[in-house]
């Protein structure tokens, strides 16, 4: 057998000057944590339909939680007060799933280096399918909507002939 190498690197921390922020129901939240790369892969799998709806929503939850939770310092536990405040506000204001998914995708895009655009305040429904799409499946109503950043992409299965 061949040794494939050693993997795993130090956890990336956000420089305070790099921190993004967002408004949520009139309150400002600062992104203090980094979405772990494994969760980023899970979000990618979610947006391409490779994992089920519950796992997809779990990935979005973790993206928001890790983004709003300050990393542990020394022996102290992680500080998740901002996430608890965000959670209470989302519940109190009955934030819809579409808004939460848009926020999770904006956090994902900001941390993965993709440009972000402000989310629309009203929904135009699910994004349309391009005429070059090789898939005939339609997302079920329970499925998270495909993010507009993925609209021009070709599914891996069609590229690989699957």
Domain ranges of the chain: 16-120+143-159
- Higher local confidence (pLDDT), 152 or 100: 100
User: What percent of the chain shows pLDDT beyond 90?
Assistant: 51
pLDDT surpasses 60 at 18: yes
Query: For residue 29, what are its two tokens?
Result: 């939240």
pLDDT digits (tens, 9 = 90+) for 40-75: 999 999 989 999 999 999 999 999 999 999 988 888
pLDDT surpasses 50 at 141: no
Over the chain, what is the mean pLDDT? Answer: 77
| pLDDT value of residue 149 | 53
Q: What is the gyration radius of the CA atoms in the chain, in angstroms?
A: 18
Task: Mean pLDDT check: name the lowest of 23-32, 58-67, 70-79, 144-153.
Answer: 144-153
Whether the pTM exceeds 0.85: the reply is: no
Which positions ≥6 away from 7 have C-beta within 8 Å?
A: none
Question: Distance between CA atoms of 90 and 110, rounded to whole angstroms?
Answer: 21
* 76: three-class secondary structure by DSSP: coil
- Higher local confidence (pLDDT), 46 or 116: 46
pLDDT surpasses 90 at 135: no
User: What percent of the chain shows pLDDT beyond 70?
Assistant: 65
**For residue 70, which phi and psi values (nearest 5 degrees)?**
-70, 135
């Amino acid at each position: 057998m061949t040794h494939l190498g050693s993997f795993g690197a130090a956890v990336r921390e956000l420089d305070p000057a790099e921190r993004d922020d967002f408004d949520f129901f009139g309150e400002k939240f600062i992104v203090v944590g980094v979405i772990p790369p494994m969760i980023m892969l899970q979000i990618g799998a979610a947006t391409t339909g490779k994992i089920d709806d519950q796992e997809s929503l779990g990935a979005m939850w973790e993206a928001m939680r890790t983004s709003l939770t300050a990393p542990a310092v020394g022996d102290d536990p992680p500080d998740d007060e901002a996430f608890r405040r965000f959670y209470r506000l989302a519940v109190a204001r009955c934030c819809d799933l579409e808004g939460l998914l848009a926020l999770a995708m904006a956090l994902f895009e900001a941390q993965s280096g993709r440009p972000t655009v402000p989310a629309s305040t009203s929904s135009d429904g699910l994004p349309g399918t391009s005429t070059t799409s090789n898939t005939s499946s339609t997302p079920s109503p329970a499925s998270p909507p495909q993010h507009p950043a993925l609209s021009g992409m070709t599914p891996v299965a069609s590229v690989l002939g699957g």
